[in-house]
Structure 1
Amino acid sequence: MSVARAEADGGRDSWSAAESAVLAESVHCAPSVHNTRPWELALHGRTAELRERTVLAAQHDPEGRDRRISLGAALANLALAIRGLGWAAEAATGSADDLVTATVVGTRRSRPTDAENRRRRVLADRRSHRHSFDRRELPDGIRDALLDALAAPGVTGRWISGPDEALAVARLLDYAARVFRDNAEYQRDLTLWATPRGSGVRPDAFGAEGLAAVGLTTSRTRLPDESLLADRIQREAVLVIATSADTPQDHVRAGAAMEQAWLEAASRDLAASVMTQPLHLEEVRTGLAQRLGLTAVPQMLMRFGLPVEPEVGDR
Structure 2
Amino acid sequence: MNTQPWRWRLRDATLELSRDPDRRLDAVDPDGRMATVSCGAALHHVRVALAVRGYEVAVRRLSDTGDRLAVVGVTGPAPPSPSACEMAAAIRHRHSDRRPIAATSRVDDDVIAVLDSAAGNEGCKLFRIGDAERAFLGAAVDQAQRSERDDPAYRRELAAWTTHRPPGAGVSFESLVAAVPRPVAVRDFAGDGETGLFPGFGDDRFADYLVLGAPADTALDQLRAGEATSAVWLTATARGLATSVMSDVLEVPSTRAAVGRLLAGRAEPQLVIRTGIQGHPVPPPATSRRALGEVLDEGPP
Q: Do they fold alike, i.e. is TM over 0.5? A: yes
CA RMSD of aligned residues (A): 2.3
- CA deviations over 1:70-128 (Å, ceiling 9, x no partner): 11011001111111121112112115861132122111211111111011112121010
Corresponding position of 2:220:
249
Classify 1:207/1:48 alpha carbon distance in 2 versus 1 (closer, same or farther; 3 Å): farther
- Counterpart check, 1:148 vs 2:78: no
Among 240, 248, 273, the residue aligned to 1:277: 248
Alignment of 1:151-190 (within 5 A): 151-152=120-121, 154-162=123-131, 164-190=132-158
TM-score normalised per structure 1:
0.79
Corresponding position of 2:262:
291
Structure 2: 5+ residue stretches without partners: 194-202, 288-301
Rounded to whole Å, the distance in 2 between the matches of 1:193 and 1:104 is: 30
Q: Tell me the secondary structure at the aligned position of residue 36 of structure 1.
A: coil
Instruction: Determine if contact 1:271/1:311 at 8 Å carries over to the other structure.
Output: no
Corresponding position of 1:220:
192
1:211 CA displacement: 6.4
Among 206, 212, 218, the residue aligned to 1:235: 206
Rounded to whole Å, the distance in 2 between the matches of 1:285 and 1:105 is: 35
Runs of 4+ in 1 over 6 A off after TM superposition: none
Residue type of the partner of 1:100?
R
Q: Tell me the secondary structure at the aligned position of residue 235 of structure 1.
A: coil
1:274 CA displacement: 0.2
- CA deviations over 1:145-175 (Å, ceiling 9, x no partner): 111111146411100012x211111111111
Moved more, 145-154 or 261-270: 145-154
Among 105, 113, 138, the residue aligned to 1:136: 105
Instruction: Determine if contact 2:122/2:225 at 8 Å carries over to the other structure.
Output: no
Alignment of 1:1-315 (within 5 A): 34-54=1-21, 55-94=23-62, 98-133=66-101, 134-152=103-121, 154-162=123-131, 164-195=132-163, 198-203=168-173, 204-206=175-177, 208-209=179-180, 210=182, 213-216=185-188, 219-220=191-192, 235-309=206-280, 310-312=282-284, 315=287
Q: Tell me the secondary structure at the aligned position of residue 91 of structure 2.
A: coil
TM-score normalised per structure 2:
0.83
Rounded to whole Å, the distance in 2 between the matches of 1:278 and 1:218 is: 18
Rounded to whole Å, the distance in 2 between the matches of 1:129 and 1:219 is: 18
Classify 1:84/1:45 alpha carbon distance in 2 versus 1 (closer, same or farther; 3 Å): farther
Rounded to whole Å, the distance in 1 between the matches of 2:212 and 2:49 is: 24
1:61 CA displacement: 1.2
1:284 CA displacement: 0.8
Larger RCO, structure (CA 8 Å, separation 6 or more): 2
Q: Tell me the secondary structure at the aligned position of residue 169 of structure 2.
A: coil
Whichever structure has more helix as a proportion of its residues is: 1
1:215 CA displacement: 2.9
Residue type of the partner of 1:35?
N
Residue type of the partner of 1:220?
D
